[in-house]
Each structure stands twice: as C-alpha cells, then as structure tokens.
Amino acid sequence: MWMLVPVAFAGKLLSAFRKPLRSLWSSLVPWVLWLRATLWLPGGQSTRPPQLGRGEPQESRGDGGQGPDQPTTPTSVNYHFTRQCNYKCGFCFHTAKTSFVLPLDEAKRGLRLLQEAGMEKINFSGGEPFIHDRGEYLGQLVRFCKEKLRLPSVSIVSNGSLIRERWFRTYGEYLDILAISCDSFDEQVNVLIGRGQGKKNHVENLQKLRTWCRDYRVAFKINSVINRFNVDEDMREQIKALNPVRWKVFQCLLIEGENSGEDALREAQQFIISDEEFEGFLDRHKEVSCLVPESNQKMKDSYLILDEYMRFLNCRNGRKDPSKSILDVGVEEAIKFSGFDEKMFLKRGGKYVWSKADLKLDW
C-alpha cells in the first residue's frame, strides 16, 4: 500500500501541470509548422533528393516554374541520337558507350510525340551527328522536323569534319542553325584537346563551313568549351571575323560515368578550370557581342537531353540517370524524371530568336 502514495502524488502533480503544458504546446505548434515548411518539402520529404542506383529513374523535384499539377513543356530538346564520334576530345561528356541508333521511323515517331507535347526547337547532337550514314539519317530527320512537324527551329551541333557541301544542297533549306564546336584557333591546342585528325585542319574547315552557311542560308553558331588548354587564349579577333549569330562559351564540366569515375571512357580532371579562371576568360572577351556564357551552374540542369533510346537524362546527381523512353511511356511521364530546371533554362537565355526566318540575317 505504501507504494501507492508516490503514484497518487504523481497523478495530482500531472493534473496540476496539464493545463500549463497544453498552453505551452499550443504556442509551440506554429513554430514547429514553420520549421517544417522551411526545412522540409510537402509530405515531410527532405529537400535532399534520394540517392538512387545507377540507371534508376528519379522523379524531378520542383515544378519547373509551371505549378505542381502542370507537366513540363519540352520547348527546346537536345536529341543525342548517336554516341559515336570520329574525334577524341578529352573532356567529352557524352561518350561512345553504345553504337545504338534508333530506326528512322521510330526516331520520327518520338519527334512527333515531342512536337505534340509542345516542342518548338530540336537540336541534333552526338557524338558526331554526321557520322551515321554519312549524314543522310540526320538530313532526313532535319527535313521531317521542318517540313512535316513544322518546328520553328531545327539546329545541329557538329565538329564539322564530316560535313560536305552536297549535304547543304539537299538539306540546307530545312536547317535553321548549324553550331560548330571550336575550342581554339591554335591547331596545336586542338590536337592537345583531341580535335586533331591527321592532315585536316580544324580551323581551316571552320572557315569553309562558315562560307557554306552563308551560301545556303543557314545561321552559323560556334560552341567553345573553356578548359585548361585554352583558358588563356584570346579569341576576339577570330570570333568577330567569323561573325556567328551566337558564340556559346561553356565551362568544362565533369559528369560521372562519362568523363569522370571508374566506368568513364574519358578522364577530364586535367581539363577542369576554376570558376575564377572561367570568369577571367569571359572578362577578356566581354566586348564580343554574340558571346553567351554558360558556367557549370547554368549548364548542368538547364537542358532537356534525350539519349539514343529517347530517354531523358537527369544530371542532378552529377551523372546521367536515364528516364524510361518516351517511345514506351510518352513524353509527359518520361519528362518527370528529366531533372530539368526550366527557371535556369530561361535565366541562361535558353529561349531566344532561333528561327532563321526571324533572324533577318544579311546573307
């Protein structure tokens, strides 16, 4: 019986404090909810995305600027339909891990799905897009997108080494923009980077392509990856002489499984530069009016990338995690796993005057 005395006393003590404790909890609830809203996403999920296994689709976090219930529109898509290339650029972040290319009819079906989902611009890339079927496969896709899908903009990114004038004669009218990768105007630097190809001169070929673009009314663009071997180069005079509609200047980027890590085909660590070095290059070229800079931060998640199987590639974890193919699940479902940051896409100037009909160029 004597043991019941402390229990009875504890019960009375709890009763005495119950009301003050209830009042204290009521005052703390708003603060707890505020902390949860600040540190956690709705549903109690951490802002840190879950680390999934390689190749496992991961749904994009965030709403892409369109609201949680509104699907992302694939306004501008980069289709890397082949990974094969005739160059060996040391920093390449889309390497020849497969030799697969979709049958032409299947590629066209996927492009139509994208157009129906709201695509306005398609960019064909690789690898080297002119390597497959000597550019005929690419040409038919370009013509299909402009003639059948009536897309406002059709563009290509190429190293330029395999392009022939007969391609322009057949398909030039359907192409809005041709972007040629050129990282240096010093041929020895191009060789160091991996753009050397025997007796062919990359810089001389660039000038020839510039002339063909003018003759066949295709807007001419230059892409440059700034890295350890060209960061101190002054390209102002050469760029101004070539007068591209845009000069895209990228900071060299590491992607696990592509140019970094044990299973990568390239090792790009030796090419990496600091943010300060990249800013120094930009400052040196700030007078070039067509310059469009892209740091690693701007570039990583602001592109919708389709691989050779028409899977969106999510780069949010520093590697390329594929979605399911749009040919299997449709665009709306696959794009959920793209990791696409539409706000950054718009911030970096991803949407611009990209139709040659609107550019009003002096041919």
Nearest to 168 by CA among 126, 107, 221, 209: 209
89, 145, 252, 315: which is the annotated catalytic residue?
Answer: 89
92 is catalytic: yes
Q: What's the DSSP call for residue 144?
A: I
Active site residue 182: no
361: closest CA among 290, 286, 287? 290
Enter the CATH code of domain 76-348: 3.20.20.70
Tens place of pLDDT for every residue, the chain, 363 residues? Answer: 444 344 344 444 444 544 444 444 444 434 433 343 333 333 333 323 333 333 445 555 444 444 445 789 999 999 999 999 999 999 998 888 999 999 999 999 999 999 999 999 999 999 999 999 999 999 999 999 999 999 999 999 999 999 999 999 999 999 999 999 999 999 999 999 998 766 778 889 999 999 999 999 999 999 999 999 999 999 999 999 999 999 999 999 999 989 899 888 888 999 999 999 999 999 999 999 999 999 988 877 889 999 999 999 998 888 899 999 999 999 999 999 999 988 889 888 888 999 999 988 876
Q: Given 85, 145, 182, 315, which residue is catalytic?
A: 85
- C-alpha to C-alpha distance for 304 and 324, rounded to whole angstroms: 14
Nearest to 139 by CA among 97, 77, 81, 96: 81
* Inter-residue contact 183 to 225 (CB < 8 Å): yes
d(CA 322, CA 318): 13
Greatest extent of the chain over all pairs of C-alpha atoms, in Å: 107
| Calpha distance 96→89 (Å, rounded) | 11
What are the helix and strand counts (H, E) for the chain? Answer: 13, 12
Residue spans of the domains in the chain: they are 76-348
Does the pTM exceed 0.75?
A: yes
The structure tokens listed for 212 are: 């063909």
Token pair for 65: 């600027």
As beta bridge partners, residue 249 has: 224, 293
Tell me, yes or no, if 252 is annotated catalytic: no
DSSP code for 148 = I
